[in-house]
DNA sequence: ATATTACTTAAAGTACACTTTGAGTCAACA
DNA sequence: TGTTGACTCAAAGTGTACTTTAAGTAATAT
């Protein structure tokens, strides 16, 4: 008795690329890096299944939190090695999260400065070239030196 | 009558680099890109002043919101051209902010997935190797397909 | 006085993550 | 049946943002 879902659809690399928002070359590149392992047709061509979509999307989420290709590769290797490596994987993800949160805070500060500057320009624009302030004077006023 | 603040300190490129958290080569690189313009001593060596610290830090804030060196260069060029270019600068900063906010939302979603995964591993670890789930089965359960 | 360290330049090298090229094979349609 | 488009591979190329090297000059410390 074989368990099989109704949608056992197969995608060519081109169709799959569109599905996950990557290009075919990028998928091949990820494959050489060991992140994906598509199936092959008798003629040697790759095909991808529904489950591969979730896997790639998950990879892209991890990538989006700042994991490098190298880290993703390590993660995949650990996963392939079985449940014994769960602590390692967990440590890696926690480290990624920790680094992410640091970055996240920094980036929020950067946004605040950007917003300040936008507001400053808007105020200045409203003031229509009255009181043309020198850059040095601006710096003195602006001076949020951390 | 010359206006002068008490702290008209001068920094060598090395000291200045430490002050702003960059390396001397990076400062020279930024200079070739037109982002900074230090003063020179009689012997040809660069020196930087207090105000340059604020300027570089501001640049780094903008950079931290996603602005490329090229965009920063454009910004600097517009600034040098005077108040007539304020609208252009404002547009650029608003575009940077808009792009930033899109990225910010995406990245928050990535974090959520990362958190889910960490929780999943922690639960699994608590369950001590009981019910060793296959990867496919995991994917089926995990399947937060956007 | 000499050794170390910091500076100067231009140019080449590096890391990351792809992207493009080239040469060839395979599949689908008029 | 031809020709268009998608696929195969390996290898070279690209863009961004630095980083390193090399060859030389200058300042500081012992």
Question: Could you tell me where the beta strands, DSSP code E, fall in chain B?
Answer: 10-11, 39-40, 46-49
CB contact A114 to B (< 8 Å): yes
Set out the domains of chain A in order of their start, with CATH numbers: 1-64 (1.10.1660.10)
The distance of B135 to chain A (nearest Cα, Å) reads 9
Is residue B40 helix, strand or coil?
A: strand
- Closest among B69, B74, B62 to B99, alpha carbons compared: B62
Residues 6+ apart with CB under 8 A from A131: none
**Nearest residue to nucleotide C26 when comparing alpha carbons to its C1'?**
A43
pLDDT tens sequence for chain B (146 residues): 545 555 689 999 999 999 999 999 999 999 999 999 999 999 999 999 999 999 999 999 999 999 999 999 999 999 999 999 999 999 999 999 999 999 999 999 999 999 999 999 999 888 755 445 554 454 454 554 44
SS (H, E, C) chain A: CCCCCCCCCEECHHHHHHHHCCCHHHHHHHHHCCCCCCEECCCCCEEEEHHHHHHHHHHHHHHHCCCCHHHHHHHHHHHHCCHHHHHHHHHHHHHHHHHHHHHHHHHHHHHHHHHHHHHHHHHHHHCCCCCCCCHHHHHHHHCCCC
Contact residues on chain B for A65, CB-CB shorter than 8 A: 107, 110-111, 113-114
**Within the 1-40 window of chain A, which residues sit less than 8 Å (CB to CB) from chain B?**
none
Contact between A125 and B90 using a beta-carbon 8 Å cutoff: yes
**Using one digit for the tens of pLDDT, what is the confidence trace for B73-91?**
999 999 999 999 999 999 9
**Using one digit for the tens of pLDDT, what is the confidence trace for A98-138?**
999 999 999 999 999 999 999 999 998 887 554 455 544 55
- Under 8 Å between Cβ of A40 and B124: no
Contact between B111 and A132 using a beta-carbon 8 Å cutoff: no
Give the CA-to-C1' distance from A106 to D29 in angstroms. 41
């Amino acid at each position: 008795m074989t368990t099989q879902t109704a949608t056992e659809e197969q995608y060519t690399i081109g169709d799959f690329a569109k599905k996950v928002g990557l290009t075919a070359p990028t998928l091949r590149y990820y494959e050489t890096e060991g992140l994906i392992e598509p199936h092959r047709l008798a003629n040697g061509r790759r095909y991808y299944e529904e489950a591969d979509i979730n896997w790639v999307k998950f990879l892209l989420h991890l990538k989006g939190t700042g994991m490098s290709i190298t880290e993703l590769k390590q993660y995949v290797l650990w996963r392939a090695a079985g449940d014994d490596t769960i602590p390692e994987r967990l440590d890696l993800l926690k480290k990624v999260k920790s680094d992410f949160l640091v970055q996240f805070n920094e980036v929020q500060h950067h946004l605040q400065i950007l917003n300040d500057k936008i507001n400053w320009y808007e105020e200045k624009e409203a003031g229509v070239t009255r009181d043309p302030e020198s850059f040095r004077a601006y710096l003195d006023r602006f001076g949020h030196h951390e």
